[in-house]
Structure 1
Amino acid sequence: MNHLLPGKGKVHSKLPIRAFLKKDKIYAWCSCGYSGSQPLCDGSHNSIRVPDLKLKPVRFIPDKDMEVWFCNCKQTKNRPFCDGSHKDLVEKDKLEGIFD
């Protein structure tokens, strides 16, 4: 069940993804949900024809080597990191009898 929620990107997955980041490397997290290189941006947002979807990648540079959990549901309020928002989507699916 991949869908767009108002002001957020398409849900790619309802589980976060762990990543190991390198100090001083530039990363661009996909906020639209359409990248084929999740959780990172591959430029797919440039060819999407969804009215009012103006999501751009979230770029950041770690100041140290670090392990992070990237949001894959694209609903986080702590972009690009997981804040547990996917749990609301999973719970909603359970209530509606939908599982993926």
Structure 2
Amino acid sequence: MTVYSTHSGCNLVACSYDAAKATFISNGDDWRVCDLASDGERAKASITYTNSNGSIVTHYTEATGGSGTCVNDGVGVDIPEGRRVTVKVWHQDGAGGTPRDVTTGYGTA
């Protein structure tokens, strides 16, 4: 499952572009976030699920290397099979920046 954060910098269709994407791969419980735009911002993603103890767990991953960079994550994470996984992706200016164009998708582990 792949989710895109589309930058909407103005009210014209030509000003919209995909700024970030996050992909969740259920076979192996891996995910990836990619920075798709040369806008000086970082791409961030969160993966949220309920673990086998019933606790809600959220993992955050970010791509900070500029346009075209991707970061893989999920090593050592075991999401119980059949659990709903919430994937959010956004872009922001710097580590403490405000999340922009947050997009949410849902999948199953």
TM-score scaled by structure 2?
0.28
Quick check: which one's helix share is greater? 1
Quick check: which one's strand share is greater? 2
TM-score scaled by structure 1?
0.30
